[in-house]
Amino acid sequence: MALLLGLVSSMLWGAADFAGGRLSRLRSAYSVIFVAQVAALVSTAVYLVAAAEPALDTAALAWGVVAGLAGAVALGAFYRALAIGQMGLVAPVASTSVVLPVVVGVVQGQTPPPLQFIGLATAGLGACLAVAPELRSGSGARASSGQSIGLALLAAAGFGVVLIAIAEGSRSSVPQTLFGQRAAYVVAVGLVLLLRAGRGERQPRWTRSQLGVAVAVGLADMAANLMYAHATHTGLLPVVSVLSSLYPVATVLLARWLDDERLRPLQLAGISATFLGVTLIGAG
């Protein structure tokens, strides 16, 4: 069951990332995140009330806050990278977030077999191959690609912290961990938007369709986090986190299908190697 929950969470994250990244081309990334996370917070609050836990768990809430703050930074960087770069390139680079929970699992005694270490090396090589053609492009393209790749790497670090924090907090309380995460998300992103409003930055009015997409993104993200949190109860952190990090597959497939993105042969090889590496880690 843990493997299935991990895989489904990755598909939900991938679909949410695609829709959120697309919407971020029309609106600021943090405004998209704010609306999505408000929807996620409301659904998480309903889940918390339904769970009817007897006592407050400060450790779970604290881990949730850590996940929320790290996620706010990571998601902002990721959506911005998706907005200015190629989804098929940005998503695999961000998927290297799996390295952090794998390392933490090793430190905790959950030592991966040799096949997983081979997978880590393969994923790292694949990310380098995917990036190389863009870095050799012209100056304008190089600046844009370099920025999107840098943001993707920042997102990877943040997402890695999120995976670790949710796993740690969920040991004592899944509902309170997720509630702390969403509350921190909303507060952090809300402060960013207030600072921007104070500088006189004006945003266009939201349309109904845009609001609908943002709400759907938030609900999908919440559902993915919930599945991942429960998966960590019965599965090893390195394995579950790797399966959950397969979300770029869904993002890339949607980008190719709906946006008709085209990648260079070396990039396709690099992306394939990245996915292969992540798969080897899970298989190990």
DSSP result, 102-151: HHHHHHTT-PPPHHHHHHHHHHHHHHHHHHHHHHTS-HHHHHHHHHHHHH
Phi, psi for 99 (deg, rounded to 5): -60, -45
Q: How many C-beta atoms surround the C-beta of residue 262 within 10 A? A: 10
List pLDDT tens digits, range 48-69: 999 888 888 999 999 999 999 9
Is the confidence at residue 201, as pLDDT, over 90?
no
Torsion on CA atoms 123, 170, 7, 83, rounded to nearest 10: -60
Averaged confidence pLDDT in the chain: 81
Q: How far is CA 68 from the centre of its chain?
A: 12
What is residue 152's predicted lDDT score, i.e. its pLDDT? 86
Q: Could you report the per-residue pLDDT of 163-197, keeping only the tens digit for each?
A: 899 999 998 899 999 999 999 999 999 998 888 77
- pTM, rounded to two decimals: 0.79
* 3-class DSSP state of 284: coil
Nearest to 131, CA basis, from 280, 264, 277, 275: 264
Query: Is residue 8 exposed (0-12), middle (13-18) or buried (19+ Cβ within 10 Å)?
Result: middle
pLDDT tens profile 210-238: 999 999 999 999 999 999 998 887 777 77
Tell me the per-residue pLDDT of 146-167, one tens digit each, with 9 for 90 and over: 778 888 889 989 989 998 999 9
Residue 74 above 60 pLDDT? yes
Closest CA to 69 of 182, 211, 168: 182
State residue 274's pLDDT score: 73
pLDDT in the model for residue 282: 64
Distance CA 154, CA 49 (A): 34
**Phi, then psi, of 223 in degrees rounded to 5:** -60, -40
| Cβ contact 238:103 at 8 Å | no
Whether the predicted pLDDT of 203 surpasses 60: yes
